[in-house]
Amino acid sequence: MPDAIDLLVLGAGPAGAAAALAAAEHGARTVMVDEALAPGGQVYRAPPMDHRQLGQRALEPEHRDGEALRRRLQCSGVEVATRHRVWSLLPGFRVHAIGPAGHRAWVARAVVLATGTTERVVPFPGWTTPGVIGLAAATILLKSQGAVPGERVVVAGCGPLLAAVGAGLVKAGRAPVAVVDLAGRGEWLRALPAMAARPDLVRRGLGWLAALRRAGVPLLSGHGVVAVEGDTRVTAVRIAPVASDGTPRAERVARRLEADALVIGHGLVPATEATRLLEADHRFVADAGGWIPVLDDDCATSVAGLFAAGDGSGLAGAAAARLQGEIAGLAAARHLGQLDEGRYQHTVAPLRQGLARARRFGQAMARLTAPRPAMVGTIAADTVVCRCEDVTRAEIETAIASGAREMNQLKAWTRCGMGPCQGRMCAETAASLLARHVGGREAAGQWTARAPLRPLPLADMVGEFGYDDIPMPEPAPP
C-alpha cells in the first residue's frame, strides 16, 4: 500500500531541499526522494560515507554549504529517501520508487519536481572511448570522490566549469595538459555586465584562471575538440581553432595532445522526463537549456498541484535554484491549505526579487555554456549520436530523408533514444539534427516520456508479487 503524504519532492539538490524545508516548516508531511547516497544534488554532492575532507578541501564553499544543508535537513521534519530511484509518477501523484530495501510507493497531494539536469556533449569521433567523461562528471570526481580522471587530462568545452575543473586538477597535483575553450575572449567580455551581479563568483573564477596560469597550463580560447584517438582508452586528443559558430576552421591545422583522459561538456539540459510523463505543458527556450515546463510566478506547472524548480525547470544556476525551490515549497504549502494567501504573498515577495537577480548571472553563464549553433551540423556521418544503440548521424539523416518528421518517428525508425539511458544523452543532438529539416525544435517535438523512468530489473518492479497473488474469478457455474 502506498504511504499517503502531503508533498513529494523529487530531487534533493539546492531546489528540492529548499522546497522540502519550506513546505515542512508549514506542516506539510514531506518526503524528498533522490537516487544519490546523500542529499545535496550535484552542486553540494556529499563525499562518500566516512571519507573525511581535511584542510582546504573542508573549507570549499560547496562542501561547507552542502554540510550545512544536510544538517538542516536532519533537524527538519522532512523524510529524506536517498538511494531511491523514482521510476513511475502517475496522475493523482502516485509515485513508485526502488530503494535498497525494495519497492516503495507514495500517494502525494502535491509534487515538487527538482530533477536538475543532464550534461550535453555534442558528438565527435571518439567521444565514446573510455576515458572521455563529462565536465560535470569531473566535478563529482574532484569534489566528492577525491579522484582525477587520468594522469594527462585535457579539459574542453565551454562555460565556467572549464576553469573550475582545470583549477581543481592543478590543486590535485595533476595540472591538465590544456584547457580548450570554445568561447573566444570576446564572449567572456560580453558576459561581464551580467557577471557583475555576483562579484564573489567572479573572484572565484579569476582565482581559477590564476591557478591555471601559475601552473603553466595552456588556455586555448576559441578552440574545440575534433577527435579523440584510442580504441579501448584515450591516447590523444586532436583540437583545432573554431569559428564563433562552432565550425572547425579547416584552413588551420589541428593540434594533437597526448592524453589519457578528456573532460568535455557543452552545457546542461533540464531533465524534464517527469513533467513530460505527467503531461505538463512545455515550451522550448534555447537559453534555458531547451524544453522546459511552463511555470507561473508560483513555480506551478499547468497540472494542478505539480510544481517545478531549479535547473530542471530552466537553467539559472544554484543560487536561483535555492530561491525558486523555496517559492515552490511555499506555493505547495499554500496549495495544501497549510499557508494562507496573505502570508504566502508576504513571504515570497523578497524571494522573487532575489530570484530575478540570481537569474541574471545564472542565465549569462548558461548562454556561455551552450553549444555553438553550427556544431551539430559538423558531426561526421559515421559518428555515433545515440551511445546506447550505436545509432550514427548517417542513420538519423537517412530516417529524416525517408520522411521522419518528428522525434517519436525518428526513434521508432532508428532506435535512437530507445536504449537504457532513455535518450538522456542523445535527445538534444537528435532533435537539433531533425530541427534542421523540419523548421525548428518546436516542430521536431520531444520524445514521449514513459515509465520506467530509469532502467530497473523486472523482479524489482514486481517485488514480492507472485503468480498466486493474481486474483482469479470464481469458475462459472456449470
Partner 1 sequence: MSTRIETEIARPDTVTIEVDGRPLSAHPGESLAVALLAAGIRALRASPRAGGARGAFCFMGACQECVVTVDGRRVTSCLEPVRAGMRVRLGLG
132 binds partner 1 (CB under 8 A): yes
Candidate residues 148, 195, 217, 219; the one interacting with partner 1 per rule CB under 8 A? 148
Residue closer to partner 1, measured from CB, 133 or 368: 133
Least distance in Å: CB of 253 to partner 1? 28
Least distance in Å: CB of 54 to partner 1? 5
- Span interacting with partner 1, options 106-114, 226-234, 276-284, 322-330, rule CB under 8 A: 226-234
> What's the chain's Rg over C-alpha atoms?
23
86 binds partner 1 (CB under 8 A): no
Q: How far apart, in whole angstroms, are the C-alpha atoms of residue 103 and residue 12? A: 19
337 binds partner 1 (CB under 8 A): no
Distances (CA, A) of 275 to 279, 449, 451: 6, 9, 12
Least distance in Å: CB of 397 to partner 1? 18
Let me know the angle formed at the C-alpha of 133 by 131 and 136, rounded to the nearest 5 degrees. 155
Candidate residues 14, 16, 39, 131; the one interacting with partner 1 per rule CB under 8 A? 131
**Cβ atoms of 12 and 60 closer than 8 Å:** no
Candidate residues 2, 61, 102, 130; the one interacting with partner 1 per rule CB under 8 A? 130
Candidate residues 387, 406, 409, 461; the one interacting with partner 1 per rule CB under 8 A? 387
Cβ neighbours of residue 77 closer than 8 Å, sequence gap 6 or more: 24, 29, 30
Only one residue has cell 526502488, namely 98
37 binds partner 1 (CB under 8 A): yes
**What per-residue string of b and e applies to 50-77 under the rule 16 or more CB within 10 Å gives b?**
eeebeeeeeeeebbebbbebbeebeebe
Only one residue has cell 535518450, namely 423
141 binds partner 1 (CB under 8 A): yes
Residue closer to partner 1, measured from CB, 136 or 237: 136
The strand pairing partners of 239, in sequence order, are 225, 255
Q: How far apart, in whole angstroms, are the C-alpha atoms of residue 72 and residue 20? A: 11
**CB 228: neighbour CB atoms within 10 A?**
23
Residue closer to partner 1, measured from CB, 37 or 194: 37
55 binds partner 1 (CB under 8 A): yes
Candidate residues 3, 27, 57, 413; the one interacting with partner 1 per rule CB under 8 A? 57
Residue closer to partner 1, measured from CB, 5 or 162: 162
**458, HSE (Cβ side, Cα atoms, 13 Å):** 1
Q: How far apart, in whole angstroms, are the C-alpha atoms of residue 473 and residue 210? A: 75
SS3 420: coil
389 binds partner 1 (CB under 8 A): yes
Binding residues for partner 1 (CB under 8 A): 35-37, 42, 47-58, 118-119, 128-134, 136-137, 140-142, 145-151, 172-174, 231-233, 271, 384, 387-390, 419-421, 424-425, 454-455, 457
